[in-house]
Amino acid sequence: MATAHELTVKNNGRNVLLKFTDADLIVDYGGGIMDDEHSSQCSSVSCFSGFCRTHNTRLDQVPFRQVIGAYYAKGSLKVSYLTRNHKKNFVLCKCEGAVEEEHNTFAMDWADKLMDAAYKGAKQSKTLKVLVNPRGGIGKAKSIFTDQVEPVFLAAGCTLDITYTEYINHACEIAQELKLKYDAVVTVSGDGLIHEVLNGFAQHEQPGKAFAIPIAPIPAGSGNALSLNLLGIEDGLDSLAAALNVLKGHPMKADLFSFIQNDKRRISFMSQSIGLVADLDIGTDHLRWMGDSRFLYGYLRGVLSLKTCPVELSFRLVEDDKEKMARFAQENTGQKPCDPSSSGVDDLEELPPLRYLGGTEEGWTTYEKPFIWIYAGKGPYVSRSLMQFPVSLPDDGLIDIAVKEVVSLYSFILLNSCLKMVKDNRAKLLKALDGAEDGVPYWSTTNRYFKVSAYRIKPLASKGILAVDGEKFPYTDFQVEVHQRLGTFLSQYGRYMVNFKVQEPKQVLK
Ligand SMILES: Nc1ncnc2c1ncn2[C@@H]1O[C@H](COP(=O)(O)OP(=O)(O)OP(=O)(O)O)[C@@H](O)[C@H]1O
């Protein structure tokens, strides 16, 4: 049977009805409740041929954004899509069946129409450079890619050029020489590999064109902040949600930073931290087995040590009114996609000039209070359990800086009791910082928050930890400035996926 948007295919002797509405693809395997034998296969990552399903019914209703492939060839139609399993993670489903000869032309047309609806202007069958760091995170990046992500890319008709990185800086070297033919660079690792790719682009012979190639992360490292920011807290660590973002995402322009230290310039995309938060990132490296939770452990450990960080901080201030920043961020994240065009940097033959290196002190403010940490960066989430920069916007041309002033006795006592409570219970440990994942500490009076166009730090002690995009850097003077819309990431939403409440909560840590 074939009517306007309906098509029946034969699969293992059964009829499967495929149809699409204005918003969804419907795959009807014949009605009724699926028996145990069939439903038991539903937890697998990939489901094939109409009988592996994610629910115990024989009907899938799939939003177009989850349809990834519809191809007709030699009398056979293949449709691939992602559905969510009972844990709300994505799984790949494939439906393949024979089409009666008289409907062949219709089937071809039907598949094309479904693909147009499914991709809504995003490029189909992308050519992807894939960089897999087999040492990323807890060493599962390779299997995450081969078992889960690669089948999705292949089902979507992508052409893949895959490299398994073999040593530190390998990804940087590849990015430096990268041909401009790729639709995206996919990193299967953590944020460190993205840092390397961007620094490779900075050394490319056509940096403007290289930076215009979108980067899309598949979360497989221990720090996956970019993925969390692009996909949100629910999907940010789901490798198939990230694969879907590669397929359906549009290029989204984002600001990048120049980090200048000892006359060397590097690109940073996420954060620079010093004091407790750097200790939290770098100083907990031996706790990788804890995954994302190691950052939270480091946070509590560091706060309780009450170690201050003697440095001089200077910046070019643009805004420091928290309510104003929060309202502005909310107004500008509300479903308003970034305009991917008109970045003005695609034709750059070299990196943008540094505007604030040397020069006069005019326009600079020096901040001299004692503090526990300085955390500067872009992107709301720095980990799943900490929304550090809730009012960060991808392309406002500004760096967000959070400065934690010396904690009050009240907070010390509170945190101390938290630590006792959670010593041997990780679940309670997570609860102890209730609200951090929603950005609540933003409102704390000891958390000073600034938007600046440039800043610099002079450490006043000889020892300490400085982390840039999660990697350890020498503990010496540095300066950072922002380059508006220099970088490009793939995004289905055109904004950071963050839900931050403007209302100041009554009970926050002081
Ligand atoms: N084959 C390899 N062996 C060792 N290191 C590698 C290899 N390939 C890449 N690397 C390095 O691994 C580092 C960490 O990668 P990434 O940040 O992406 O993962 P991660 O698990 O989040 O790590 P981290 O928590 O240390 O940042 C990168 O800086 C990269 O240089």
Look up residue 96 and give its amino acid: E
Burial call 39-58: b when 16+ CB within 10 Å, e when fewer:
bebbeebbbeebbbbbbeeb
Confidence of residue 464 (pLDDT cuts 50, 70, 90): confident
Q: Whose CA is nearest to atom 30 of ligand 1?
A: 168
Measured from the Cα of 192, ligand 1's closest atom is 17
Burial call 439-449: b when 16+ CB within 10 Å, e when fewer:
bbbbbbebbbb
pLDDT at 202 over 90: yes
CATH superfamily of 122-248: Probable inorganic polyphosphate/atp-NAD kinase; domain 1 (3.40.50.10330)
Burial status of residue 7 (CB atoms within 10 A of its CB: 0-12, 13-18, 19 or more) = buried
Q: How far, in Å, from the CA of 136 to the mean position of ligand 1? A: 5
ipTM of the complex: 0.96
Residues 374-392 pLDDT 10s: 999 999 999 888 899 999 9
At residue 289, the pLDDT reads 64
- Average pLDDT for the chain: 83
At residue 13, the pLDDT reads 83
Q: Is the beta carbon of 441 within 6 A of some atom in ligand 1? A: no
Q: Is the beta carbon of 133 within 6 A of some atom in ligand 1? A: yes
Residues 150-162 pLDDT 10s: 999 999 999 999 9
Mean pLDDT of 32-54: 38
Please state which CATH class domain 263-346+360-481+506-510 belongs to.
Answer: mainly beta
pLDDT at 342 over 60: no
Measured from the Cα of 288, ligand 1's closest atom is 25
Phi, psi of 226 (to 5 degrees): -60, -40
Confidence of residue 461 (pLDDT cuts 50, 70, 90): confident
Q: How far, in Å, from the CA of 423 to the mean position of ligand 1? A: 30
At residue 358, the pLDDT reads 78
Mean pLDDT of 451-476: 92
Mean pLDDT of 163-182: 98
Measured from the Cα of 168, ligand 1's closest atom is 31
Percent of the chain with pLDDT over 70: 78
Collapsing DSSP to helix, strand or coil, 304 comes out as: helix
Mean pLDDT of 442-466: 90
d(C-alpha 240, C-alpha 148), whole Å = 7
Burial call 368-392: b when 16+ CB within 10 Å, e when fewer:
eeebbbbbbbbbbbbbbbbbbbbbb
Q: How far, in Å, from the CA of 198 to the mean position of ligand 1? A: 14
At residue 407, the pLDDT reads 56
Residues 76-93 pLDDT 10s: 999 999 999 888 999 999
Q: Is the beta carbon of 291 within 6 A of some atom in ligand 1? A: no
Could you give the C-alpha distances from 292 to 166, 258, 496, in angstroms and in order? 24, 27, 20
Q: How many CA atoms lie within 13 A of 191 on its CB side?
A: 29
Q: Is the beta carbon of 167 within 6 A of some atom in ligand 1? A: yes
Confidence of residue 341 (pLDDT cuts 50, 70, 90): low
Q: How far, in Å, from the CA of 171 to the mean position of ligand 1? A: 10
d(C-alpha 139, C-alpha 146), whole Å = 13
Measured from the Cα of 471, ligand 1's closest atom is 27
Measured from the Cα of 189, ligand 1's closest atom is 18
Report the residue among 133, 197, 270, 288 best suited for mutation to probe ligand 1: largest number of ligand atoms under 8 A from its CB: 133
Residue 74 contacts by C-beta under 8 Å, 6 or more apart in sequence?
none
Whether the domain at 122-248 and the domain at 263-346+360-481+506-510 fall into the same CATH topology: no
Q: Is the beta carbon of 189 within 6 A of some atom in ligand 1? A: yes
Q: Is the beta carbon of 289 within 6 A of some atom in ligand 1? A: no
pLDDT at 405 over 90: no
The pair of structure tokens assigned to 11 is: 């699969």
Measured from the Cα of 187, ligand 1's closest atom is 18
Q: Which of 37-51, 103-117, 490-504 is most confident?
A: 103-117
Q: Is the beta carbon of 470 within 6 A of some atom in ligand 1? A: yes
Collapsing DSSP to helix, strand or coil, 217 comes out as: strand
Q: Is the beta carbon of 223 within 6 A of some atom in ligand 1? A: yes
CATH topology of domain 2-119: PH-domain like (2.30.29)
Q: Is the beta carbon of 134 within 6 A of some atom in ligand 1? A: yes
Q: Is the beta carbon of 377 within 6 A of some atom in ligand 1? A: no
Q: How far, in Å, from the CA of 188 to the mean position of ligand 1? A: 10
Mean pLDDT of 211-235: 95
Q: Is the beta carbon of 166 within 6 A of some atom in ligand 1? A: yes
Mean pLDDT of 128-150: 94
The pair of structure tokens assigned to 291 is: 């995954």
257 near 391, Cβ under 8 Å? Answer: no
At residue 106, the pLDDT reads 93
Domain ranges of the chain: 2-119, 122-248, 263-346+360-481+506-510
Residue 103 contacts by C-beta under 8 Å, 6 or more apart in sequence?
2, 7
d(C-alpha 327, C-alpha 322), whole Å = 9
Go through the chain and tell me how many residues it has: 510
Q: How far, in Å, from the CA of 492 to the mean position of ligand 1? A: 26
- What's 404-427 look like in SS3? EECCCHHHHHHHHHHHHHHCCCHH
At residue 465, the pLDDT reads 86
Confidence of residue 178 (pLDDT cuts 50, 70, 90): very high
